[in-house]
Chains A and B, each alone.
Chain A
Amino acid sequence: MNDKISKTEGHHNEPTKPALTPLGTPPEAPALPRGDEVIHTGPEFAVGEGDVHSAEAGEIVAGSSLWKDAWRRLLKNKLAVFGMIVVILLVVASLIGPAIIKRATGYSYDLIPRENALNKSFPPFRGADGSFSWIHPMGTDNAGRDILARVLSGGQISLMVALISTFVSLLIGISYGATAGYLGGRIDDLMMRVVDVLYSLPYIIIVIVLLAMLPAKTPTGQLAELFIALGAVSWLTMARIVRGQVLSLKNQEFVLAARATGVTTPKIIFRHLVPNTLGPVIVYTTLTVPTVMLSEAFLSFLGLGVRPPRVSWGSLAAEGAQNLAIYPWQLIFPGVTMALMLFCLNFLGDGLRDALDPQMRRE
């Protein structure tokens, strides 16, 4: 049904719009529609009619829901579609790429070749003998490890950090913001002042202190700490957004109706209010992912994030930066991959915002 509507829209827009006539000459009656066009006077009319008919017939109209509408708007946004495709490609490549490389060439992200002759940095597409070869499309690092495998494995870690930290921030931000907004009054004041105080502290210092205070024994433990630390500082804006939404929602009658049926406060917050904040939350989440990813890269660059032998885009860039003058490919490939991912995530986030909140869209 949706497809039909958008087609008629495109087709009839021009003829239905009365053209402005210059110099006050009375507008001529619109040219008589040709044959089959008589029935469809305009897209709105067609939609209304269709609905009435199906309602009369007693069947259920699968109305175009918020999500379907949003999806259609998103697909119209070329930049967002491009972003979505690149993000999906990069995610898929990160997930299955390392395994394919291992099978094809035998290299994995931490494999250092046994022969001493190979323990040096080869440029892209160069084999051991200096001739063209497909074995290292991005070259190798100082120890002879395949950079493509490292970039893709680093992608896994970077994505994981970004997703899990975002999830942590969602969890804290939504419950905190919704609770503050719904309870209101003094509790709200108190809770939001805490957020204000945390806002005023430089977040990177909090993360550094958190990471320094909890020294991890294993690389995995270190990773888990990174998730928590990044999540713990990135929930503040989420809490504010959710609180604002809840403040405007809580005076609606459906909340009163829920209270009048005896629903408990936690259930009102989490079953009735939180789902209604979903739109802005999704939008902000898609914009949080790149931010967190960048923070992770920053921390890894400083040596506080992911530790060897694990790699992330940030730690790869840090390594590459040391040899920039001699082996530029060690920095270029991880850097470009990460930049591409961040750009595309932001395109996608912008697109989602426009799609889910049509009022805010700039024309």
Chain B
Amino acid sequence: MSSSNGELLSVKNLRTYFETEDGVLKAVDGIDFELSRGQTLGIVGESGSGKSVASLSIMRLIPNPPGKIVSGEVKLDGDDLLKLSTAEIRKVRGKRVAMIFQDPMTSLNPFMRISKQLMEVTQLHLAYSSAQAYEHALEMLEQVGIADARARADSYPHELSGGMRQRVMIAMALSCRPELLIADEPTTALDVTIQAQILELIKNLKSETRASVILITHDLGVVAGMTDHIVVMYAGKIFECAPTPELFARPGNPYTRGLLRSVPDPTAREQKLYQIPGLPPDLARMPAGCPFAPRCERAEEICHREFPPFVQLAHAHFSLCHFANEVYASAESQTGSRISPPDQA
């Protein structure tokens, strides 16, 4: 709690590998990012790009074996989470860093009343008595917009709808007022109308509790409206990171451009939707050069041979590409991103 403003989380050179029968799988391979207090960071990428593994690594929740955090540094307010003992990291989980998961249908224990599940957190970390914890649970349920919290508190998860369950999950995550909230695709399993409500809720609670948020998603529309900064991941590496408006206006990486082009455009009716050709590479058999080269429009001979450099394009804007500057320069004229960059209110 020393520095009240500035960096809350800094991840340096994080590598998480999985030992499989096919060989070592580099799910997260040397990523760096920072998150300032009160800010929201979006991590975007296709399935299997390592975004979930990165977030689980921060919490040290990688199943070991087969997974292992090989190297790196995860500093939360100066404390290196990777160096804490098991007992110490347990005190961080749920209290200083909380997490919301993708599927609210399975992330609540089907055999426990939701009040009990909410009480567990505060009894554990804040040493609340059961009466205190119960009152707190009701408060949290009201805060996340569950009407008639007192009557709902004693229901079982199967008695609630998906959206309500995700609200309960959010209530649980925010019970101890964490400094950092990691939301791993919090809306993927919900239908569209509920998605908007849940995102709005996270946004409001974030400003109320002044927590920092890491939002992991593959939905560019979600990050556009929610985040201050975006990290684009591919094959366990950071391909581009930039402030949100900048990334949407001037992407400096062919992969990001591909992602932006594959968002459907509601105004262009007849146009065929763009799609990045091919599939992400097998993480156990990575090509020598750029991992995106086989799918890249812009790829040249060097891309298949040499690993690209991480080029700085502007302040806080980096891109992993041999031709980053070129792509960046041409971006303004071409893309004219269809997802309008959010107005930073």
Residue of A61, A253, A260, A276 touching B159 (CB-CB under 8 A)? A61
12 pairs, CB–CB < 8 Å, chain A vs chain B:
A58-B147, A58-B148, A60-B155, A63-B158, A65-B156, A253-B103, A253-B107, A257-B108, A257-B172, A258-B120, A262-B91, A262-B93
B314 within 8 A of A: no
Q: Which positions 271-292 of chain A face chain B at CB distance < 8 Å?
A: 271-272, 275-276, 278
Report the minimum CB–CB distance from B28 to chain A (whole Å): 17
The residue of chain B having its C-beta at the shortest distance from the C-beta of A260 within the complex is B99
B65 within 8 A of A: yes
CA distance A278 to B211 in the complex (A): 39
B192 within 8 A of A: no
CA distance A271 to B155 in the complex (A): 17
Residue of A60, A259, A272 touching B152 (CB-CB under 8 A)? A60
Chain B interface size range: 35 or more
B59 within 8 A of A: yes
Q: Which positions 119-173 of chain B face chain A at CB distance < 8 Å?
A: 120-121, 124-125, 147-148, 151-152, 155-156, 158-159, 169, 172-173
Residue of B148, B151, B172 touching A261 (CB-CB under 8 A)? B172
Interface segment, one of B3-11, B109-117, B331-339: B109-117
Q: Given the known A-B contacts A261-B120, A262-B95, are A254 and B61 also in contact in the complex, defined by CB atoms under 8 Å?
A: no
B82 within 8 A of A: no
Could you tell me which A residues sit within 8 Å of B by CB distance?
58, 60-61, 63, 65, 185, 252-254, 256-264, 271-272, 275-276, 278
B102 within 8 A of A: yes
By a CB distance below 8 angstroms, the chain B residues around A252 are 106
By a CB distance below 8 angstroms, the chain B residues around A253 are 101-103, 106-107
Could you tell me which B residues sit within 8 Å of A by CB distance?
59, 61, 65, 90-95, 98-99, 101-103, 106-112, 120-121, 124-125, 147-148, 151-152, 155-156, 158-159, 169, 172-173
Residue of A264, A276, A278 touching B90 (CB-CB under 8 A)? A264
Q: Given the known A-B contacts A253-B102, A261-B120, are A275 and B112 also in contact in the complex, defined by CB atoms under 8 Å?
A: yes
CA distance A200 to B139 in the complex (A): 56
A-B contact number at CB 8 A? 76
Would you call B61 and A256 a contact (CB within 8 A)? yes
Would you call B91 and A257 a contact (CB within 8 A)? no
Would you call A262 and B92 a contact (CB within 8 A)? yes
Would you call A272 and B109 a contact (CB within 8 A)? yes
Residue of B95, B107, B152 touching A254 (CB-CB under 8 A)? B107
Would you call B93 and A261 a contact (CB within 8 A)? yes
- The residue in A185, A253, A258, A261 that gathers the most chain B C-beta atoms within 10 A of its C-beta is A261
By a CB distance below 8 angstroms, the chain A residues around B98 are 260-261
Report the minimum CB–CB distance from A87 to chain B (whole Å): 27
The residue of chain A having its C-beta at the shortest distance from the C-beta of B175 within the complex is A261
Q: Given the known A-B contacts A185-B65, A263-B124, are A275 and B111 also in contact in the complex, defined by CB atoms under 8 Å?
A: yes
By a CB distance below 8 angstroms, the chain A residues around B108 are 254, 257
CA distance A180 to B92 in the complex (A): 27
CA distance A185 to B65 in the complex (A): 8
- The residue in A61, A185, A252, A260 that gathers the most chain B C-beta atoms within 10 A of its C-beta is A260
The 4 tightest CB contacts between A and B, nearest first, are A261-B94, A262-B93, A253-B107, A262-B94
CA distance A262 to B127 in the complex (A): 13
By a CB distance below 8 angstroms, the chain B residues around A260 are 59, 61, 93-94, 98-99, 101
CA distance A108 to B142 in the complex (A): 64
